[in-house]
């Protein structure tokens, strides 16, 4: 099969060639990949700053795929040839609390990903793709939509009428705007670009703050929420900004620590965290059960993934470059 493989760190070492078509073992599905979408994680893996010690040589990168079951291994019961499925990043985390070694079974590193004509997923680690979506659309769900969903619903316990802060207008945040709006919540969004703020307002955000023009954006969030702060913050920026997220979140509020766009380390100011009694929770996507619950909600609320651009298979490197420039929503590669 045709496959992109990582021969060393750096985009120049992502090479298109031939690889052996995998064979599904017992319980596994061979999926003919229709499309993949890129996440910041994929870029960080290719560039060598995401758990580089776990990245195997000749890795087929990119975790998030949608496609059609082409063959099944022995004993498969959940899917049949011809079914449309999504991959699920944490391939063994099915429900409840995560096990201690979930990252060892992630697709797109260390397990092979979907930037190839075929990929193998275990039937337990696959999810039925929404009927209402094309492969291009469905490929955007496994990390970006599911992380937003899990943070808002499973962790955040967000209710209609409550407020949520989302940062930037990348993959996770745009889904968070759409899902939170559909739940009846009030969404405050930030972006470095005024035109993106206009665009997220059209998707349901009720207020927007340009974090470049307003570096102390937490004060603006407090002003919008009558001095209280939001009920829930989805922090995708990380770095020193976590202290601002604590200030922008209400007393006894929750912060989903999702990302590290501006840094993987931080100096955390403990006194505001203690006095505001904030719950700060690391998020690592979600179990498959959460994915199973999300897809009917997306169908019911007619939520269409926001795709910035669809690239051809041969243009995979251009797609990664686009991600580095900061897309509005998702970057997709048709396979
Ligand atoms: N833990 C998990 O389960 C999980 C799951 C998914 C993603 N993540 C992490 O979450 C982060 C976002 O992922 P993604 O896939 O949504 O990324 P993405 O699609 O590449 O989004 C990038 C966007 O984030 C915004 N941004 C960049 N720096 C920012 C900052 N300092 N403050 C606020 N916004 C900023 C920019 O939006 P504007 O152009 O509008 O400024 C940029 O376009 C990454 O660190 C990723 O690794 C973690």
Q: Which domains does the chain have, with CATH numbers?
A: 2-140+305-334 (3.90.180.10), 148-282 (3.40.50.720)
Sheet of 163-167: strands edge to edge?
207-210, 186-191, 163-167, 230-235, 249-257, 279-282
Over residues 284-313, the mean pLDDT reads 96
- Residue 30: which of 115, 138, 121 has the closest Cα? 121
Residue nearest to atom 18 of ligand 1 (CA): 170
Give the contacts of 223 (CB within 8 A, at least 6 positions apart). Answer: none
pLDDT tens digits, 24-59: 999 999 999 999 999 999 999 999 999 999 999 999
Using pLDDT thresholds of 50, 70 and 90, give the confidence band for residue 20.
very high
- CB-based contact 116:59 (threshold 8 Å): no
Q: How confident is the model over 82-125, as pLDDT tens digits?
A: 999 999 999 999 999 999 999 999 999 999 999 999 999 999 99
Which residues are CB-neighbours of 227 under 8 A, at least 6 positions away?
none
Q: How far is the CA of 89 from the centre of ligand 1 (A)?
A: 17
Give the distance, in angstroms, between the CA of residue 76 and the centroid of all CA atoms in the same chain.
28
Q: Could you tell me the distance, in angstroms and rounded to a whole number, from the CA of residue 245 to the centre of ligand 1? A: 15
**What's the pLDDT at 111?**
97
Q: In the block, which residue shows the tokens 């910035």?
A: 308
Q: To the nearest whole number, what is the mean pLDDT of the chain?
A: 97
Q: If you measure from the C-alpha of residue 264 to the centroid of ligand 1, how many angstroms do you get, rounded to a whole number?
A: 12
Read off the pLDDT of each residue in 234-253 and give the average, rounded to a whole number. Answer: 98
The pLDDT of residue 224 is: 98
**pLDDT score at 229:** 98
Q: How far apart are CA 154 and CA 230, in angstroms?
A: 17
Question: What is the rounded distance in angstroms from the CA atom of residue 253 to the CA atom of residue 179?
Answer: 19
């Amino acid at each position: 099969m045709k496959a992109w493989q990582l021969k060393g760190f750096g985009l120049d070492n992502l090479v298109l060639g031939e690889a052996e078509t995998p064979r599904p073992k017992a319980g596994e599905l061979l999926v003919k990949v229709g499309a993949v979408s890129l996440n910041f994680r994929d870029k960080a893996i290719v560039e060598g700053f995401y758990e580089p010690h776990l990245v195997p040589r000749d890795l087929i990168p990119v975790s998030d795929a949608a496609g059609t079951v082409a063959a099944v291994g022995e004993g498969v019961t959940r899917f049949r040839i011809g079914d449309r499925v999504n991959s699920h990043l944490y391939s063994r985390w099915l429900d409840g609390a995560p096990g201690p070694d979930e990252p060892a079974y992630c697709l797109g590193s260390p397990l092979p990903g979907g930037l190839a004509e075929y990929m193998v997923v275990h039937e337990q680690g696959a999810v039925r793709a929404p009927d209402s979506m094309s492969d291009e659309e469905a490929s955007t769900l496994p990390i970006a939509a599911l992380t937003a969903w899990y943070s808002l619903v499973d962790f955040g316990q967000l209710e209609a009428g409550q407020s949520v802060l989302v940062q930037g207008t990348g993959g996770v945040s745009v889904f968070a705007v759409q899902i939170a709006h559909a739940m009846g919540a009030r969404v405050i969004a930030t972006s470095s670009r005024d035109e993106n703020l206009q665009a997220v307002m059209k998707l349901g955000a009720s207020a927007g703050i340009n974090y470049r023009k307003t570096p102390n954006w937490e004060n603006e969030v407090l002003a919008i929420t009558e001095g209280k702060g939001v009920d829930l913050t989805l922090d995708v920026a990380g770095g020193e900004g976590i202290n601002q997220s604590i200030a922008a979140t209400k007393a006894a509020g929750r912060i989903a620590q999702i990302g590290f766009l501006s840094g993987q380390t931080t100096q955390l100011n403990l006194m505001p965290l203690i006095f505001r009694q904030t719950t700060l929770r690391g998020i690592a996507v979600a179990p498959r059960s959460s994915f199973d619950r999300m897809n009917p909600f997306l169908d019911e609320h007619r939520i269409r993934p926001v795709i910035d651009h669809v690239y051809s298979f041969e243009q995979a490197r251009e797609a990664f470059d686009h991600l580095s420039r900061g897309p509005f929503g998702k970057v997709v590669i048709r396979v």
